Structure 1
């Protein structure tokens, strides 16, 4: 089963291909720039697809962080560390939400 690129859970059924592919990078406090790598194509499960379709970045980030915790990833409980993780996730997700992405089923049928 294909994993969702947003929440990491199995069951991705949708593919988003942005019209304009944004390039996102983060800068550390030391001034080191690190690009966030992705091929511009995002697979999504039904729940994440609904959040993408409604441009609900806050909901998408919250879902991602909660499923990361559920899967055992070390996600901070709060404070500046959680804000930092949320900003990284948001920056990466922004690459698909820029412009109107084309939505297709993973089998190739456009919607």
Structure 2
């Protein structure tokens, strides 16, 4: 089974394909713009799919960061570094959440 592109758990059952693909980039403190590469198509498990469908970005980002922490990524417990990481995750998710993506069963 495919992993969920949001939380990294196994068992993705849905594919979101954006109608209007957003181009997402982040700017460094030095003013350098770095695009976030992805094709805009996201696989989702049932739980993440529910969060996407209800436009619950806060809980979707939290679920993603918890999944990253479980997978061994260095996710801070709080503070500015966690806030920055959450903003990066949210910007990346914007590629699928822009407009109304179509939802297909995998």
Shift of 1:54: 0.3
Query: What secondary structure, in the 3-state scheme, does the structure 1 residue paired with 2:69 have?
Result: helix
TM-score by length of 2: 0.97
Q: Match for residue 109 of structure 1?
A: none
Shift of 1:94: 1.2
Consecutive aligned runs of 4 or more in structure 1 exceeding 3 Å deviation: none
Please, which runs of 5 or more residues in structure 2 have no aligned partner? none
Alpha-carbon distance between aligned partners in 2 of 1:38 and 1:3, rounded to the nearest angstrom: 16
Alpha-carbon distance between aligned partners in 2 of 1:8 and 1:33, rounded to the nearest angstrom: 27
Shift of 1:42: 0.6
Shift of 1:40: 1.2
Q: Match for residue 5 of structure 2?
A: 5
Alpha-carbon distance between aligned partners in 2 of 1:3 and 1:51, rounded to the nearest angstrom: 16
Report the RMSD for the aligned CA atoms in angstroms. Answer: 0.6
TM-score by length of 1: 0.93
Shift of 1:16: 0.3
Shift of 1:93: 0.5
Structure-to-structure mapping, 1:1-111, within 5 angstroms: 1-106=1-106
Q: Deviations over 1:16-74 (max 9, x none)?
A: 00111000000000111110111011100000000000010001000001111111110
Query: What secondary structure, in the 3-state scheme, does the structure 2 residue paired with 1:73 have?
Result: coil
